[in-house]
Amino acid sequence: MEAITNVLASRYASGAMRAIWSPRGRILLEREFWIAVLKAQRDLGLPIPPEAITAYERVKEQIDLDSIRRREQTLRHDVKARIDEFCALAGFEHIHKGLTSRDLTESVEALQIYRALELARLKAVAALVALSRRAGENKNVLLAARTHNVAAQLTTVGKRLAMFGEELLLALEALDPLIERFPVRGLKGAVGTQLDQLTLFRGDVGKVVELEERVLAHLGIQRTLMAPGQVYPRSLDFAVISALYQLGAGPSSFAKTLRLMAGHELAGEGFAPGQVGSSAMPHKMNSRSCERLNGLHVVLRGYVTMAEGLAGDQWNEGDVSCSVVRRVMLPDAFFALDGLLETMLTILMHMEINPAVVEREVRRYLPFLSTTTILMEAVKAGVGRETAHEIIKEHAVAATRDLRTGKIVENDLFQRLASDRRLGLDAPALERIARDTRAHPGAAAAQVDWLMRAVLPWCERFPAATDLKPEPIL
């Protein structure tokens, strides 16, 4: 049978994320978990021979997925297959005492999620840092801001980037408490009452509590659930996956906007050396990475849907109807987000702004964007508000029409208005207005400064994020 590889893992995710979710990696996590439980049980008085622990330690990295699979086909039970394999390798039968399958699998999967969340946070910080840098570089580059995809007012390129940076920052702030509060189910037994460990320790509650604490310490997670059933509530999975989706939203809006800007030649992804195919000619330098990023956000959405299907659907103390969903959804959602952030980092590394095109667009729209001010000045100069509005609109409509019919190439609205005596504003007055408009794009630059400051505490917490490089992308 030809193995079919996971396309998200192999094409889009980074090595670090793949390592967390790889089948071999998972087996190793499980074995380390078993050994940690074993040691804790021994320390707490269970009769476990030291040579057994040594034996398990020695063979824990001998991972033969095919052998495990063959066992599973016979036993029709995945965890039992893995227990048998590990015991056969070690020559002892001491692991998994007082554990049910879910004590193992819920813990190991929680650990995978936890580590993957930490990695996602790190990368999101890296993306935020990179975005704030690009915002800083372009903080004063005037740009015709667009609402409804048409020019509306001036802003700066940097401010536009800062806008998406703030969205990413908000998502990071939402992710943070999720990681801090993240609970693991713990060794709660078949239906969550801790019966099995209590039995093992002859009802000694203190020892069972201590056992669980040692296991938490091994996992590096602070918190355990207090009253779960066989499984932890699947709405926690939903909280995780929806947090990933939120994390992807700022980059996705950024990518969509960069695709729009590329359509106007205002900006682009840059041109990778050696790139061929339909994108080899300069006019075809397309936004393939931005498109990919947007695609990955859509992919993530599918996993949110899967998580929704599990949340609120627990029957009694639980069952395995969630099993196949989680096998697919958990790694794939993290692979998708990881690929999304890798792509984001790549785009930010190569993105090019074309200042002359940006400026040409400003020039084209500036007269229109100044009309509000012109109106105010005309009113100050004594013209009635309605009259002034009508005059300006008349010329604006005419200028627009002539630009659109090709009668004129450059926007001549200022000239038209200057030559209309009714408005009482001469050319120098209008030029002054234009100059003033350009000089004051509101608080755009200050907002960029704000973002750059806001990023600093994240850089301090996660110094590795400040120079995290994306892996080369396909």
Instruction: Give, as ranges, the residues between 182 and 241 that touch a second copy (CB under 8 A).
Output: 183, 189-195, 198-199, 203, 205, 208, 225-230, 233-236, 238-239
CA-closest candidate to residue 104, choices 235, 196, 20: 196
Q: Which residue is catalytic, options 77, 132, 253, 278?
A: 278
# binding residues, a second copy (CB under 8 A) = 186
Nearer to a second copy, 53 or 392 (CB): 392
Clarify whether 77 is annotated catalytic.
no
Residues 120-149 contacting a second copy, CB under 8 A: 145-149
Query: CA 25: distance to chain centroid?
Result: 23
Work out whether 446 is an interface residue with a second copy (CB under 8 A): yes
Smallest distance, a second copy to C-beta of residue 418, A: 18
Q: Which of 148, 235, 279, 370 is catalytic?
A: 148
Which helix (H) or strand (E) segment is 151 a member of? strand 150-156
87 scored as a contact of a second copy (CB under 8 A): no
Question: Which part of the chain contacts a second copy (CB under 8 A), choosing from 44-52, 106-114, 285-293, 459-467?
Answer: 285-293
Name the one residue in this structure whose structure tokens are 């536009």: 160
Which of the residues 326 through 365 are near a second copy (CB under 8 A)?
Answer: 327-329, 331-332, 336, 339, 354, 356-357, 359-360, 365
Sign of CA dihedral 424, 426, 429, 432: positive
Among 123, 441, 465, 468, binds a second copy (CB under 8 A): 441
Of the candidates 44, 48, 55, 311, which one interacts with a second copy according to CB under 8 A? Answer: 311
Among 45, 177, 220, 463, binds a second copy (CB under 8 A): 177
Q: Is residue 108 a contact residue for a second copy (CB under 8 A)?
A: no
Closest CB 227 distance from a second copy, rounded Å: 4
C-beta closer to a second copy: residue 271 or 463: 271
Number of neighbouring beta carbons within 10 Å of residue 5: 9
| Binding flags for a second copy, 313-332, as an x/- string (CB under 8 A) | xxxxxxxxxxxxx-xxx-xx
- The two tokens of residue 212 are 């669980």
Stretch that binds a second copy, among 52-60, 103-111, 274-282, 416-424 (CB under 8 A): 274-282
DSSP-assigned letters across all residues of 78-136: HHHHHHHHHHHHHT---TTTT--HHHHHHHHHHHHHHHHHHHHHHHHHHHHHHHHHHHH
DSSP labels, 373-441: HHHHHHHHTT--HHHHHHHHHHHHHHHHHHHHHTS-SS--HHHHHHT-GGG---HHHHHHHHHHHHH--
Active site residue 278: yes
Answer yes or no: are the C-beta atoms of 35 and 56 closer than 8 Å. yes
Structural tokens at position 66? 């095919």
> Is 388 an interacting residue with respect to a second copy (CB under 8 A)?
no
Rounded CA-CA distance 83/81 in Å is 5
286 near a second copy, judged by CB under 8 A:
yes
Query: What 3-state class would DSSP assign to 148?
Result: coil
Q: Which of 105, 224, 246, 346 binds a second copy (CB under 8 A)?
A: 246
Q: Which is nearer to a second copy, 39 or 153 (CB)?
A: 153
Based on the shown chain and the rule CB under 8 A, indicate whether residue 74 belongs to the binding site for a second copy: yes
The Cα 471–Cα 14 span in angstroms is 7
> Judging by DSSP bridges, how do beta strands 352-353 and 223-224 pair with one another?
unpaired
Shortest separation between residue 331's beta carbon and a second copy, angstroms: 7
Task: In angstroms, give the least distance from the CB of 119 to a second copy.
Answer: 16
Q: Which residues of 427-446 are buried (b: 16+ CB within 10 A; e: fewer)?
A: eebbeebbeebeeebeebbe
CA separation for the pair 451, 169 (Å, rounded): 9
DSSP annotation of 147 reads: E
Count the Cβ atoms, other than its own, within 10 Å of residue 389. Answer: 15
Q: How far is the CB of 430 from a second copy (least distance, A)?
A: 16
Q: Is 447 in the site for a second copy (CB under 8 A)?
A: yes
Residue 260 as a binder of a second copy (CB under 8 A): the answer is: yes
Asked if 44 interacts with a second copy (CB under 8 A), we say no
Angle subtended at Cα 236 by Cα 235 and Cα 238, rounded to the nearest 5 degrees: 60
Q: Which of 210, 218, 450, 459 binds a second copy (CB under 8 A)?
A: 450
**Beta carbon nearer to a second copy, 276 or 421:** 276
Residue positions annotated with a catalytic role: 148, 278
